[in-house]
Amino acid sequence: MSKIYTKKGDDGTTYTGKPKRELKSSSTSMLLGTIDELHVCLGKCCTYASKEETKQLMSCLAAICLDIGSIIYFINSENNKEANTMLTNKFINLSHNMEIIIDEKNKTLEPLTEFIVFANCTEEGITLHEARATTRRLERMFTAYIRTINDPPESIKYLRQYLNRLSDLLFTLARVNNGNGIPRSKTDEMLGYLFMKR
């Protein structure tokens, strides 16, 4: 990339792979923007990671965001063959591999018996929760986007599975890495105490 600015987007449009440029407020543009946001969130997780294993995993997950962006581009340009190749080569086994990590980490944690409030976490823990929430938003936008495509590649299911499993992985890693938060019932006790003080 020899030049950062092209001025082509000054009119509020961008290129998403489709024949015509789209508004930056279009659903496809919003989807691609959310992929970028997740990339940044995972980079932040890498920055705050205290364990080398977590740091390496976050780096790999951040890189996968670039692959997702490429797949959306290929689908938009009706190049299902290239999209299908990327999906089968990169995503077919990812969900299963993530499940292995989730199960392994979950064995080290106390079972959850109630909802947790995302407070009292370290920076490492809360950034993992932030990445999880961003993944959920991306998953919602991706699901809506696929419904607008006339003939999406059949292997798109692997990416859908990946996004669903990614949020589970990030939630588990957040709990492992000082993101256990506060039990919901505990906050009721705290609130009662605060009111009593007044």
With bands split at pLDDT 50, 70 and 90, how would you rate the model's confidence at 120?
confident
Contact 179, 124 (CB under 8 A): yes
Q: Give tens-digit pLDDT for 58-88.
A: 999 999 999 999 999 999 999 989 999 999 9
Q: Over 60: is that where the pLDDT of 198 sits?
A: no
CA 67 from centroid of its chain's CA atoms: 13
How far apart, in whole angstroms, are the C-alpha atoms of residue 63 and residue 49? 16
- Range of lowest pLDDT (33-37, 43-47, 146-150, 185-189): 185-189
Tell me the percentage of the chain whose pLDDT exceeds 70. Answer: 96
Q: How many CB atoms lie within 10 A of CB 96?
A: 10
**How wide is the angle at C-alpha 63 spanned by C-alphas 142 and 69, nearest 5°?**
35
Return the pLDDT at 1: 61
- If you average pLDDT over residues 159-170, what whole number do you get? 98
For residue 185, what pLDDT band results from cuts at 50, 70 and 90?
confident
For the chain, the structural domain boundaries read 11-196
What confidence score (pLDDT) does residue 142 get?
97
Average pLDDT over the chain, rounded to an integer: 91
**What pLDDT does residue 196 have?**
65
Q: Flag whether pLDDT at 119 surpasses 90.
A: no
Question: Over 70: is that where the pLDDT of 197 sits?
Answer: no
**Start-to-end Cα distance in the chain:** 61
Residue 35 near residue 61 (C-beta atoms within 8 A): no
pLDDT value, residue 190: 72
Choosing among 3.40.630.30, 1.20.1200.10, 3.40.50.300, 3.30.70.100, the CATH entry for 11-196 is: 1.20.1200.10
pLDDT tens, residue by residue, 28-66:
999 999 999 999 999 999 999 999 999 999 999 999 999
Q: Please report where in the chains the tokens 């992985």 appear, as a residue.
A: 169
What pLDDT, on a 0 to 100 scale, did the predictor assign at position 128?
A: 97
Residues 6+ apart with CB under 8 A from 2: none
pTM (2 decimals)? 0.89
Torsion sign (Cα): 101, 106, 112, 118 = negative
The structure tokens listed for 87 are 């999906």
Q: What's the CA gap between 25 and 191, in Å, rounded?
A: 41
Structure tokens at 107: 């064995």
Please tell me the distance from the alpha carbon of residue 40 to that of residue 183, in angstroms, as a whole number: 29
